[in-house]
Chains A and B, each alone.
Chain A
Amino acid sequence: MMRYAARRLLGAIPTLFVIITLAFFMMRAAPGGPFDSERRLPPEVERNVKAAYNLDKPLAQQYWIYLGKLAHGDLGPSYKNKDFTVVQLIATGLPVSARLGVAAMTLALLLGTLLGVMAALKQNRWEDYSVMGAAMLGITIPTFVTAPLLTLVFGIYGVSLFGHELSLPVGGWNGGALANMILPVTVLALPQIAIVARLMRGSMIEVLRANYIRTARAKGLGTLRIVLGHALRAAALPLVSYLGPALAAVLTGSLIVEQIFGLPGIGRYFVQGALNRDYTLVLGVVICYAALIIALNFLADIVYGILDPRVRLT
């Protein structure tokens, strides 16, 4: 187990390296530079600016300088957000994105599992069909449709609930207030709820057919105890291996959600950085995302090994 973990961690290094290299050279191959603007700078100013950011050196040398700084945890200055380093920007954006992501994933896992188990217990009955139909909707309707629709209904028109006029803020972060989080988290979680529910239903149906469940039934255990005590652990296995892709999906979803709701997370920095050719910022965010995804995939594999003794990690 420990050896497996160590090997996997070592294996992550070349992956990260490839990502950094690819992203670095792809960004540089893009036509246009970060200091192109409507008004051309005087040549000597432009030269000085480029020299200050090492942009006048050969590409290979720039790459080495970047790697060297990266080894010290320095992602360089942001070209467009003056006076900020990329590390500072990520440090302000990441907590916002992380809170969104964690909240959305938690919601998805809880609600998705609940719905999936319910559908599995009522297989081929109306409960099952309605949950699965709704799940299909959740998967097929993209985030950028649900976001404006929910904004329209809950933010702009407002819904009266138990006599209270309920109107949620449609944008802004406001220090992470609950009201500001509800809409973005819901939008982010909806497709994941749907996928988790489908996964859970499928594996639950399979597990419920197993012999040990029949034994538990024969012993006279109630449905609730069978599900919670016996079936859920085995049925949750496919979910664990879905955690990695789910995180990637939530991260990409957060690009849209942060853009629509105007949240100061790193997804928004990425989109703006890509449009502005803010090389260092884009690189920094890509590295940050990649490290997160690799780390979570690694964690998911370890948890999988712990939950399923049949899987031997060597």
Chain B
Amino acid sequence: MIATGQTLKAVEEVKGRSLWVDARRRLLKNRAAVASIVILALVALLAVLAPLLSSYAYDDVNYDIISCAPNWWPAEAACRAPGHIFGTDAVGRDLFVRVLFGARVSLAVGLVATLVSLLIGVLYGAVAGYIGGRTDALMMRIVDILYSLPFIFFVIILMVMFDRNFILLFVAIGAVEWLTMARIVRGQTLSLKQKEFIEAARAGGVSPLGIITRHVIPNVVGPVMVYVTLTVPGVILTESFLSFLGLGIQEPLTSWGVLISDGADQMETAPWMLLFPALFMAVTLFCFNYVGDGLRDALDPKDR
């Protein structure tokens, strides 16, 4: 027994703390970040379960209860709609369900567009950084040029061009968000390239593509993850910006941007229509930013 106890102890002593274990510990110590993760999970859960949570559908129109306040609304209101906990919108649809469906769209746009930008950016940056030389200079010059484009204008032109196609919205936003990702990954790759293990892989005859996918990309995950958590809220914001201008999601589907835009039109008579979607969106963006900050602090070797 004693012997096994000692071996166990020896094993524990040998076991190093990897970067990831360390980072996770630091992240879990960050109370703001943990709370944000919990809230985000909750919002995501609400969005996924939206159809089960309410007896109303997101496009159920009811002309008897147009722009009605919820029962508990403290200020006076022209009419009240019992059973609708967030009240109703300008054509009597349940606002609670619509906010949750808006969350679905907004979160989906955020995640998918970020994924698109992740794919393009990581591959582009890793290739440019690894090949180096003239190819790198040319590829980064292209990024520089694209960087100085007023990108939101191009997204607007794209949305006009393709008649507000929902899928295209994902791709369009993702296609312009990859630039920073490419820069980050390229910078990391440049310094990784000098490391011995890459040298060893090259000496061992691994193809450049193999080195990029097997050795370079796994090692840039840290900074990329931080940037991803900061891209998602950026994309959600962009989507709602477009929707607000009338260039995004089309009725009866909805997103937070559309709801806020509708709410802003009616805020004098029905402030809840602005308040709830704005609150949901602000809280979500808030949490993403805190998680991103927390991750950055957790992964930053400077702070150790």
Give chain A's interface residues, CB within 8 Å of chain B.
14-15, 18-19, 22-23, 26-27, 29-31, 136-137, 139-142, 144-145, 147-149, 152, 156, 248, 251-252, 255-256, 259-260, 270-271, 274-275, 277, 282, 285-286, 289-290, 293-294, 297
Contact = CB atoms under 8 A, between A and B. Distances in A.
Q: Summarize B's interface: helix, strand, loop or mixed.
A: helix
A145 B278 contact: yes
Contacts of B144: 15
B264 A148 contact: yes
Contact of A289 (B150, B247, B257): B150
Contact of B148 (A26, A282, A285, A294): A294
A255 B156 CA distance: 11
19 contacts: A14-B145, A26-B157, A30-B157, A31-B161, A136-B290, A141-B282, A142-B241, A144-B241, A152-B268, A248-B150, A251-B150, A252-B241, A255-B152, A270-B156, A274-B160, A275-B246, A282-B157, A289-B150, A290-B149
Given A145-B274, A256-B241, 12 more contacts: A15-B145, A19-B148, A23-B153, A23-B157, A30-B160, A141-B282, A142-B241, A145-B278, A147-B264, A148-B274, A290-B148, A293-B148
Closest 4 CB pairs of A and B: A148-B264, A140-B285, A30-B161, A144-B244
Interface residues of B, number: 38
Contacts of A255: 152, 245
Contact of B145 (A18, A145, A251): A18
A255 B149 CA distance: 16
Contacts of B268: 152, 156
B289 interface: yes
Contact of A144 (B152, B163, B261): B261
B156 A26 contact: no
Contacts of A274: 156-157, 160, 247
B237 interface: yes
Interface of B: 144-145, 148-150, 152-154, 156-158, 160-161, 163, 233, 237, 240-241, 244-247, 257, 260-261, 263-264, 267-268, 271, 274, 278, 281-282, 285-286, 289-290
Contact of A140 (B241, B263, B286): B286
A252 B264 CA distance: 19
Nearest to A16: B148
B148 A15 contact: yes
Given A22-B149, A271-B245, A293-B150, A144 B156 contact: no
Contacts of B161: 26-27, 29-31
Contacts of B158: 26
